[in-house]
Amino acid sequence: MILSNDKKSVFLAISKTGSKAISYLLTPYGTVLPHGPLYHGYAVDFREHIEQNRGLYGEFDLSQITYYAFWRDPVERFLSAVNYSKKFAVTMRTIFPGMFEDLSIEGKDRYSRWKEGEFEALPQEMQNRIKNVTPEQFADRRLGGPIWAEQYHYFADPAVKMLRYDQFESEVRKLIGIFGGDPTVNIPWVNSSKGRPETSTYTVTQSLIDKLKIRYPNDFQMILNNQEVLPQ
């Protein structure tokens, strides 16, 4: 979450919507707020944090703040979260505790590297098992944390303006301009390989879509309610 230097705009970072790249670009033109008390990063959390810490941020009118956040297709975002989770052996062992229990951990140092997402450091058998886990298997699990949360909860606040992930570059440039920066700067893809946005080779099945409609009912309802704005 970033508050612009003129204290008129706030960027709400929704996980798996390019938020790291955007935060990198906006940081020179604003104040990065602490992650701890703003774990989910909703607009209401920001307002409460500012009211409790006026000495840190000074006086300004919270009612005049405009919030910005990116909306991403819920199926595409879920697949991005699947790809991200597969980078971390510890995460996979947590989500699928019985899948790797027969594979030994060879030393504390190596285990620490696995936590950092060095996929190639894993034993080949573990790599193979992780690669073979399907999105449907993820959808069947109880998943917690911001990368799996519904986007609806951010946009339920009427003060939050929606930016479209499927128009990422143009929307980011617009946001940089709002924050007082140079909208012509190079836009990095922080979490992607070889500087390109994440891609996926998964086949999106109707079974997966049906499961995600149960997991993200409000996100899919947003699509129905905003058919002229959000891609189908």
The pLDDT value recorded for residue 193 is 42
The pLDDT value recorded for residue 197 is 42
CA angle at residue 37 from 138 to 118, to 5 degrees? 40
Q: CB pairs under 8 A, 24+ apart, for 26-29?
A: 26/2, 26/175, 26/176, 26/179, 26/181, 27/2, 28/181, 29/4, 29/5, 29/176, 29/179, 29/180, 29/181
Give the rounded distance of the alpha carbon of 187 from its chain centre. 17
The pLDDT value recorded for residue 112 is 52
What is d(CA 136, CA 78) in angstroms, rounded to the nearest whole number? Answer: 11
Tokens 């790797």 map to which residue? Answer: 100
The pLDDT value recorded for residue 109 is 46
The pLDDT value recorded for residue 196 is 38
The pLDDT value recorded for residue 37 is 61
The pLDDT value recorded for residue 126 is 84
- CB neighbourhood size of 208 (10 A): 19
pLDDT mean values, one per 10 residues, the chain (232 residues) = 92 92 92 74 88 86 93 94 87 87 60 58 83 94 92 92 93 95 83 46 90 96 73 49
Contact 108, 133 (CB under 8 A): no
The pLDDT value recorded for residue 192 is 54
Nearest to 166 by CA among 67, 68, 74: 74
